[in-house]
Amino acid sequence: MQLTDTVHLVGSGQNGFSLTDPLDCHVYLLDGGSELALIDTGVGRDVPAIVAEIEAAGFDPGDIAKIFITHLHLDHSGGAAELQKLSGAEIIASQDVAGWLESGDEEAASLVAARQTGMYPLENRLRPVASATGVSDGDVIHVGSLAVTVVKADGHSRGHLAFLVDDCAERDDCAEREDGAHRALFSGDALFFGGRILLQNIWDCSLEESIATVKRFAELEFTQFFPGHVSFSLQDGKRHVDAAMAHIIQLLPPPQLVT
């Protein structure tokens, strides 16, 4: 599903558009012209369905050079090992998450607890990736003509990242623009449509850090807003940050996402 000139939706589960496995998050493909990348990988139960969506969009999955992981939860990282094996892509995540992906740390991913609640079937596992690159807040990674800026986004989980993608990295006027007209925020599970957040009873979830992340998003300029589940915005995406901030300035938490 093509969303913009450079963004395609190639995976989405029951809390989205039911393109692939019901437990998948939104899986976004970035087309940088000379390079391709994915943002998140779904739960990993049916990677061939994601591959089929990539091919239906007119791309070769073997051309994926980078895979960005917003956070460790299985619905976002479970397909990373298989997709890396298929494409040879570099896995990019926060420093903490990169290490946990390499070791397949299911405790850090809260997967053991999630299986006990029935959220995931007992056979679902976090398979270790061959290698992963740790990045930090403010780092800029290029995907062809796209510039991807790393944004620290803790709160929903430890080591959560968002990615600010600029589609005019090779344009002369790009550096002079301040209105975010060529930028998209991929927020993972740090913030959702309507200014909602998702807090869970797990070891690394923090309301205080979630609010700090929303405040950090409020300092960014962007137009398009692509979260990890439910709907997204192709225009005026900053309004979802504004909606969350309207609660925060009243000393209230943003509303919870109900799925």
pLDDT by residue (tens digit) across 101-124? 999 999 999 999 999 999 999 899
pLDDT at 173 over 90: no
Mean pLDDT of 77-98: 98
Strand-pair category, 224-227 with 183-188? parallel
Q: What's the rounded Cα separation, in Å, for the pair 134 and 156?
A: 19
What is the pLDDT at residue 182? 79
Structure tokens at 20: 């692939």
Of 30, 71, 84, the closest CA to residue 202 belongs to: 71
Q: How confident is the model at residue 179 (pLDDT cuts 50, 70, 90)?
A: low
Compute the mean pLDDT over every residue in the chain, rounded to the nearest whole number. 95
CA 80 to chain centroid, in Å, comes to 12
pLDDT at 45 over 80: yes
pTM above 0.85, yes or no: yes
Of 144, 168, 158, the closest CA to residue 188 belongs to: 158
In one letter, which amino acid is 115? R
Task: Give one word for 141, left, alpha or beta, with left for phi > 0 and alpha for psi -120 to 50.
Answer: beta
pLDDT at 71 over 90: yes
Question: Using alpha carbons only, how large is the chain's radius of gyration in Å?
Answer: 17
Bridge partners of 149, per DSSP, are 140, 164
Mean pLDDT of 188-199: 98
Mean pLDDT of 69-86: 98
pLDDT at 34 over 60: yes
Cβ–Cβ under 8 Å, residues 183 and 177: no
pLDDT at 155 over 80: yes
What is the pLDDT at residue 258? 82
Cβ–Cβ under 8 Å, residues 39 and 27: yes
pLDDT at 8 over 90: yes
pLDDT-above-90 percentage for the chain: 92
pLDDT at 178 over 60: no
pLDDT at 213 over 90: yes
Strand order through the sheet with 224-227: 140-143, 146-152, 161-166, 183-188, 224-227
Question: How many CB atoms neighbour CB 192 within 10 A?
Answer: 26
Q: What's the rounded Cα separation, in Å, for the pair 234 and 132?
A: 30
What is the pLDDT at residue 245? 98
pLDDT at 172 over 90: no
Find the Cα–Cα–Cα–Cα dihedral 221, 223, 228, 230, rounded to 10°: 140
Mean pLDDT of 163-174: 70
Strand-pair category, 36-39 with 64-68? parallel
Q: In this structure, what DSSP letter does residue 237 have?
A: T
Cβ–Cβ under 8 Å, residues 52 and 84: no
Cβ–Cβ under 8 Å, residues 109 and 73: yes
Kind plus residue range of the DSSP H or E element containing 121: none
